[in-house]
Structure 1
């Protein structure tokens, strides 16, 4: 006779309880822990087993059992965290909720975001208390991050295409991530830098004189990390065609060439299309719009910037280009390929969760 396990207490919801749980689960600015517990209870109420709910919510079965039991015993009150031993709190849950909701859903008068002083003045609590509440809920009103969501109609297809090249590169072929770092400036500081000393960082003047610009064209080999590069004073289609010719010259003739590029106009210029038609071993793969993070050469450019350009001091474009050539040569003597681990499915799932949390939109 098969084992059925310990019988579970039935979990049935009133209309009021179901409505409240749905609000907690769907309200994008509520506590994520409370939202998870609400989804667990809703899943159990639909007749799913603990294992099925655990798989759906990506938690352990004991976690589902814990919150199922807590709800059966204490109903909605059972989904809050249990009181811990120690001095009774001097701030009520209502005050904490008021601070959190106000931080997330409002702005102070004549300001774009809350400070501890402004929230303390509004709530009547001390600035240190506001700081503790914000730390507990991981709220940082003074910080912001930038983002740009792709509006590419072929976003999913392009993600699968590019990531597929990284994870399963074709045989008898080379995969090159290609782009231009344009408008690299030759900047001469107005005064010599003060060197770093114990207790004092290096000091540089904030002002400088511009001595012209150059553009770094780079093709990053995803297999071994080597880079084919060129420097041009402009970055038009004619310069890009010259760079393609250099790639064609340096990549062995028996290999197919797969290029990962962004959607910059020069990469799709009629003259480039004509050149590609005359060189059938070249295959273009375009990243989605606003998705330069998919192109591995951008990480290479970040190294160039951090190691060389960020503190550069050049009196001419020629001097700047000379240093860039030396830097790339040193890189190729000890190349560092980037190990891509995310599958296309993992990337799309991650973006879906971000959209769900920030906009309430579905996957």
Structure 2
């Protein structure tokens, strides 16, 4: 029986380049790589039998892909479309699943605060929307639109009517400006706050240092050795920290902190020292500002708005303390905690540079515009839900 002649292959420069990229590319799927190699061998005039030997393929496989390329070119090297198994669920059922996941469970009569995939799967079956459906199938449907009803994110409306004015004053102080006038050489900006309830937790077994393929190990069981508060004042532009520890927070501990700072140079002879604080009970309102100005004439108290920890630079320093000093908490007693905080403060003052604060009044205006749009959207959604 005569053997059919091999299909002749002739490549253009563009086809050759694309086939080489497919045949030798590191990210090319194996099947596409093999098919491209078959065509390249055929373009060199090799017989089907030789190509089969060099590629390790069956002779019929080589004939198939050589013939497909000869008849239809590069598109023929892709897999043909297959009918596959008929879908068990209709697009309407998928859409109803997503609609159910976008409702709060309590609104549908389910006593849950949020969905996880097994619950909507069971609910779909109970309502007769679908037949039995697995949680993994529901998860795959929700993933198509990035719907994750098991997650939640908290948010808060701005309640302070003077939000922008207060935030702007703080941001301008960071940029060394107050009420439109640049600060002088004898004027300083200090960010202050309290870190409460730093505990001394004495682990029942010693902490093990890290080793090869082993993280630090901290025993879960501990004995309580008390707690203290860490008050800190951070010079924004000089990157200097002053931080006494106290048994508790309050007016007197805060005034002690201010006295510690303004009793030494360059603050003692400064024209003004601006103290940026939040609305904590130890320095809240006009009474606190008057009290501070009476005791220290060159001190000016500047309050942030409510929920403004993100605007107070000393919180960045507190985050460093939390990550590198307090966690994991393994202290024998409060004296060890005090000594550690004092040592890290000295280390920080010797090496630190001012924080690169990039949030300006322009970014503040952009943020307020976005919040205004989001607030409007939430109110419209809430009104629509109430009317429905």
TM-score, scaled relative to structure 1 = 0.68
Verify: 1:175 aligned to 2:192, yes or no: no
Pairs aligned (count)? 278
Shift of 1:249: 2.1
Find the residue that maps to 2:234 and give its secondary structure. Answer: strand
Tell which deviates more after alignment, 289-298 or 314-323: 289-298
Matches within 5 A, 1:1-363: 90=87, 92-107=90-105, 109-123=110-124, 124=130, 125-169=133-177, 170-172=182-184, 173-252=187-266, 253-268=269-284, 270=287, 273-342=290-359, 343=361, 344-360=364-380
- Give the superposition deviation at 1:278: 4.2
Separation in 1, partners of 2:82, 2:221: 56
Question: After alignment, is 172-181 or 129-138 more displaced?
Answer: 129-138
Structure 2 unaligned segments of length 5 or more: list them. 1-80, 125-129, 383-388
CA 1:168 to 1:87, structure 2 compared with 1: closer, same or farther past 3 Å? farther
In 2: Cα distance, 1:357 partner to 1:197 partner: 52
Secondary structure of the residue that 2:200 maps to in structure 1? strand
- For 1:118 and 1:361, how far apart are their aligned partners in 2? 25
CA distance 1:205–1:358, change in 2 (3 Å)? farther
8 A Cα contact 2:251 2:283, kept in partner:
yes
Counterpart Cα distance in 1 of 2:293 and 2:377? 43
Moved more, 220-229 or 283-292: 220-229
Gaps of 5+ in 1: 1-85
Between 1:142-151 and 1:204-213, the stretch displaced more is 142-151
Tell me, in whole angstroms, the C-alpha distance in 1 between the residues paired with 2:150 and 2:208.
32
Instruction: Give 1:141 shift.
Output: 2.5
Cα distance in 2, alignment partners of residues 300 and 287 from structure 1: 17
CA contact (8 A) 2:98 2:142 kept: yes
- Give 3-state SS (helix, strand or coil) of 1:302's partner: helix
- Aligned-pair CA distance for 1:229: 1.8
Tell me how far apart the structure 1 counterparts of residues 146 and 174 of structure 2 sit (CA, whole Å).
35
Deviation of 1:150 (Å): 4.2
CA gap 1:133/1:331 in 2 versus in 1, 3 angstroms? farther
Kept in 2, the 8 Å contact 1:150–1:288? The answer is: no
CA distance in 2, matches of 1:87, 1:177: 67
CA spacing shift, 1:129–1:356, aligned 2, 3 Å? farther
User: Aligned partners of 1:155, 1:242: CA distance in 2, in Å?
Assistant: 29
Report how far residue 280 of structure 1 moved.
Answer: 3.0
Instruction: Give SS of 2:149's match.
Output: coil
Q: Which residue pairs with 1:10 in the alignment?
A: none
TM-score by length of structure 2 reads: 0.64
Q: How far did 1:306 drift?
A: 0.7
Cα contact 1:148–1:290 (8 A) shared by 2: no
Match of 2:14 in 1: none
Q: Is the 8 A contact 1:175 1:258 kept in 2?
A: yes
RCO comparison, higher one (Cα < 8 Å, 6+): 1
The equivalent of 1:5 in structure 2 is: none
Return the alpha-carbon distance in structure 1 between the equivalents of residues 168 and 328 of structure 2. Answer: 38
Provide the C-alpha distance between the structure 2 equivalents of 1:248 and 1:87, rounded to a whole number of angstroms.
80
